[in-house]
Amino acid sequence: TKTMRLRRTKRILECVRSVYTSKIISSDKDLVALVFYGTEQSKNPRNSFKHVYVYHDLDSPGSQRVLDIDKLLGEKGAQFAEKTIGSGETSLGEALWCCSNLYSDIKLRLSHKRLMIFTCRDDPHGGDGAKDRQARTKAADLKETGVVIDLMHLTKPGGFDVSLFFCDIVSPPEDESELGLQIEPCRKLEDLQKRVRAKELKKRSQSRLTFSLGEGVNLAVGVYVLARTATKPSAVKLHRDTNEPVRTKTRYFHAHNGGILLPNDMKRAQVYGKKQIVMEKDEVDEIKKFDDPGLVLMGFKPMDRLKLHHHIRPALFIYPEEEQISGSSCVFTALLLKCSEKNVFALCRYIPRRNTPPRFVALVPQREELDQSQTQATPPGFNVIFLPFADDIRTLDAHVGPTASDEQVDKMKEIVHKLRFKYKSDSFENPVLQQHYRNLEALALNMLEPEPIEDLTMPKVQMMDARLGPLAQEFKDLVYPPDYNPEGKPAAKRKTAESGGGAAEKKPKAEISEEELKNHVANSTLGKLTVPVLKDACKQFGIRTTGTKKQELIDALTMQLSK
């Protein structure tokens, strides 16, 4: 029905809009295009393809594109789309050919190319064999050039049968866990956004290293960052008159003649034993080099030997790289399964790159987990936990406070039990970042005011009070004295001076005699005196000084007392 078509169209457009807004924030250098096929009007390069409408060319996303998507939303948007784009014959082969031309027209080198097909029709050509063959041929050509084709299909009455047509169009899954993604259709906007986000985010490795197990057994692994602190983007400096971005250049000049110093004109030095040790750059690099980058297995330890306080920085994640060394996946999987079965972690020496000091790391095994929709929730691999050296561990004196009674401890256990909940880090967004991006979005899209955000870090006081009931007051009665008022002002501090209730007497200044000063001048030991003592000495003997630096005070006293 028309209502169902409008709902599906709205779902897809909102998903495209979310992709645009996320790209503007996180990947503004990525190129994105939006192409409608099966349209009445035709708009494409050189108008070579009928019933294909290129709404947005392949370019970086911007605020104007988001506004263009907003024009297509709602009832007015549907009327605008019907008038501008319309609905006509469907030819997926023509649309794929048009997308191929969009890729070829870009002169830049693209790291990866992905094409997502949004549809609710499992047989778009209605059994037309010629159009089916054309689409299959063009899809094969695209896949040969490195384009990954994904299907983002929505539910339809009677179910969506991928095997009718699209099984020959889409690219094979990159992972076995993605088989469920290609079969199950999307029923909600959240499902569609989740699927698109999983596809559009290319899993790039931070580095690729050799993992040495000993006795010449090596495998290749990729190092990934699964979690990283999200921060506001750094400010871009612009030219005052043209608003063009400016570049910063650093140059070194000679302190005496003002000449420009090149890298080979400069050396490194280290002071040791009051002597300056000068070294060349190559010598410094050789000193820094410990070994070639990679992971070297040192042994295995039971998991109970790994303590929480050993975690000193965010963990990394490693996964096999079959393309680098053949057989890496097989050896890696065997190691992962055995470590998981025996409940042990692998202790390794880790050097991430050249001229980097080594670290000891613990490789903690992690099995694959799937959610209810058969989407991979947890990837299989090893978490790389950085371990501290002996120098990194501090010994602290624990503060000894009053000991709680058993009754107080039992009451707090009840409170903790009432307020327990399942914590998931992905359920809480950083409110500072969210407000920052909402403000930028409002400015870019000419909105009257930014959309309000929900600060999920604020405690839900009413719900907590309802769960606790009288427990909070009972705990206060057990711990605090009867007259305790947490909102009252703290008691005034006692005066340090006991006599007369007045303020504490100031510590008298230590005066120094003229004879002592002359001895210091004769022995050249005025530098042992502090600046306040030197200032008081100058005032004591009526010596005027032009500055307040220690050497200036010493020079003034030396000149006066040497006369």
Q: What is the pLDDT of residue 433?
A: 84
Q: How far apart are CA 472 and CA 477, in angstroms?
A: 9
At 333 the pLDDT is 92
Q: What pLDDT score was predicted for residue 301?
A: 94
Question: Under 8 Å CB-to-CB from 447, ≥6 apart: which residues?
Answer: 441
Higher pLDDT among residues 101 and 376, named by residue: 101
* Residues with Cβ within 8 Å of residue 362, at least 6 apart in sequence: 301, 306, 310, 345, 346, 347, 348, 384, 385, 387
Cα dihedral across residues 474, 476, 482, 483: positive or negative: negative
Question: Token pair for residue 145?
Answer: 């050039």
CA gap 555, 253 in Å, rounded: 33
**152 vs 102, more confident:** 102
CB 148, CB 115: distance < 8 Å? yes
Say what the pLDDT of residue 289 is.
82
C-alpha to C-alpha distance for 423 and 235, rounded to whole angstroms:
34
Alpha helices (runs of H) in 27-62, residue ranges in sequence order = none
Residue 114 near residue 151, CB atoms below 8 Å = no
Looking at residue 181, its pLDDT comes to: 46
How far apart CA 458 and CA 78 sit, in angstroms, is 40
Which of 95-109, 205-219, 454-468, 535-549 comes out lowest in average pLDDT?
535-549
In the prediction, which pLDDT does 373 show? 64
DSSP assignments along 262-291, one per residue? PGGG--EEEEETTEEEEE-HHHHHHHH--S
**Nearest one of 122, 228, 256 to 182, comparing CA atoms:** 122
pLDDT attached to residue 375: 65
Beta bridge partners of 297: 348
Residue of 141, 74, 65, 53 whose CA lies nearest to 103: 141
Per-residue confidence at 502, pLDDT binned at 50, 70, 90? very low
pLDDT of residue 303: 94
User: pLDDT by residue (tens digit) across 228-239?
Assistant: 787 887 888 899
Handedness of CA 343, 347, 352, 353 (dihedral sign): negative
What is the distance between the alpha carbons of residues 449 and 223, in angstroms, rounded to a whole number? 42
Instruction: Please give the span between the terminal C-alpha atoms of the chain, in angstroms, as a whole number.
Output: 109
Tokens 């956004």 locate to: 193
Q: Is the dihedral of CA 119, 123, 128, 129 positive or negative?
A: positive
% of the chain at pLDDT higher than 90: 19
Please state the rounded mean pLDDT for residues 437-461: 82
pLDDT at 361: 95
pLDDT tens profile 309-366: 888 888 999 999 888 888 899 999 999 999 999 999 999 999 998 888 899 999 999 9
The rounded distance, in Å, linking the Cα atoms of 516 and 513 is 5
Would you state the pLDDT for residue 184?
Answer: 58
Q: Decide if 189 contacts 14 (C-beta within 8 A).
A: yes
- Residue 29 CA to residue 27 CA, distance in Å, equals 5
pLDDT digits (tens, 9 = 90+) for 126-182: 888 899 899 999 999 998 888 888 888 877 777 778 888 888 888 876 654 444 445
Helix (H) or strand (E) holding 182: helix 179-183
For 81, counting Cβ atoms within 10 Å of its Cβ (0-12 exposed, 13-18 middle, 19+ buried), the class is buried
State the alpha helices, DSSP H only, in 452-549: 461-468, 471-479, 514-522, 531-540
**CB-based contact 418:467 (threshold 8 Å):** yes
**Confidence band (pLDDT; 50, 70, 90) for 557?**
confident
Count other C-beta atoms under 10 Å from residue 119's C-beta.
19
Q: Is 77 left (phi over 0), alpha (psi -120 to 50) or beta?
A: alpha
**What is the pTM for the complete model shown?**
0.59
Q: Which of 265-269, 385-389, 535-539 has the lowest mean pLDDT?
A: 535-539
Look at the alpha carbons of 396, 402, 407, 411 in this order and tell me if their dihedral is positive or negative. negative
Q: What is the pLDDT of residue 412?
A: 93
Pairing outcome for strands 113-119 and 147-153? parallel
Report pLDDT for 276.
87
Q: Which uninterrupted H or E stretch holds 346?
A: strand 344-351
Cβ pair 153, 189 in contact under 8 A: no
Q: Percent of the chain scored above 70 by pLDDT?
A: 87
Nearest to 310 by CA among 363, 383, 229, 385: 385
* CA dist., res. 422 & res. 32, Å (int): 38
Q: What is the chain's length?
A: 563
Quick one: pLDDT band at residue 499, thresholds 50, 70, 90? very low
CA distance 417 to 413: 6
| C-alpha dihedral sign at 462, 452, 425, 192 | positive
What are the pLDDT digits (tens) for 223-282?
998 887 878 878 888 998 988 989 888 999 988 888 898 888 888 888 887 888 888 888
